[in-house]
Amino acid sequence: MGLKVYVDGEYYEKDEAKISVFDHGLLYGDGVFEGIRSYSGRVFRMDAHIDRLYNSAKAIMLDIPATPDQMKKIITDTLEINNLSDAYVRLIATRGCGTLGLGPDRCPSPSIICIADFIALYPKELYESGLEVVTASTRRISLGTLYPQVKSLNYLNNILAKTEALNSGCSEAIMLNANGAVAECTGDNIFIVKGGRLITPDVSSGILEGITREAVIELAGKEGIPVEERTVSRYETFTADECFLTGTAAEVISVIKIDQRLIADGKPGPMTKLLHERFNELVRNEGA
């Protein structure tokens, strides 16, 4: 039996799960989404993901045609119907069908899609060896455009940055903001370690407020590690003791080279390893 995908109240076989070519999600990237993980049958930080989804939708004035509780049920039902307990869930709200014009006023009913599947963002070996990354010339969208906090279906500038990474033989790219400060990676937040302190770009650096990032900041707090959320320069990434990325799909992954500069002697550093371990414990134990 194949994967079943939720679309507007019905479950369809993977190949039959379709939306209209007039959906503004397709035509204009007009919509919002979440990437969510379930571990051992428990959805990790479901409330935080639902809050972020509704905040993203509010920011783009999209009325999700379901309550937050109904959305939670869609997530758990989709996992259940597919018999998945360790999975990745993609929850999407699009503007829905409209005309061939930008106007969202022509889209009377937004669509909800929920896909549950497996995800392997990076090969397993990279968690042992660490990633090489480059700084992309493509900048993160600025605060003056669409707020980077909005997890919208418009990922084209991130895709351009990801392409730069892949063209350089790397899996990820660091994106700078309009001021040239470090923002985040194409699908992950970034942390550096310097002198025993954990440092990560703050929200005003133009980042998506990652749920994994938040969990790692909490874990660092519990370990007594000082955390700074502030502007981070490229120079600080080059001269960091350690560097790692966080994201729902990536979890915690070490970075060992940035623009050909070796970080942490080219091996995942001790604080990265500690926080990675603590994160693995957290996802296994939270809510158990």
For ligand PMP, the binding residues (CB under 6 A) are 35, 158, 184, 187-189, 208, 210-213, 246-248
Nearer to ligand PMP, 78 or 154 (CB): 154
Nearer to ligand PMP, 208 or 263 (CB): 208
Q: Nearest distance from residue 48's CB to ligand PMP, in Å? A: 8
With a CB cutoff of 8 Å and minimum separation 6, the contacts of 216 are 191, 246, 252, 275, 279
Nearer to ligand PMP, 211 or 271 (CB): 211
Question: Residue 31, SS3?
Answer: strand
CA-based nearest residue to 62, from 15, 25, 113: 25
Q: Nearest distance from residue 190's CB to ligand PMP, in Å? A: 9
Q: Residue 117 — φ and ψ, nearest 5°?
A: -155, -175
AA identity, residue 151: K
Which is catalytic among the residues 124, 151, 194, 222? 151
Q: How far apart are CA 151 and CA 149, in angstroms?
A: 6
Contact between 226 and 198 under an 8 Å Cβ cutoff? The reply is yes
With 0-12 CB in 10 A as exposed, 13-18 as middle and 19+ as buried, what is 249?
A: middle
Q: Nearest distance from residue 277's CB to ligand PMP, in Å? A: 18
Q: Nearest distance from residue 118's CB to ligand PMP, in Å? A: 16
Residue 151 bears catalytic tag:
yes
Nearer to ligand PMP, 35 or 65 (CB): 35
What are the residue numbers of the active site?
A: 151
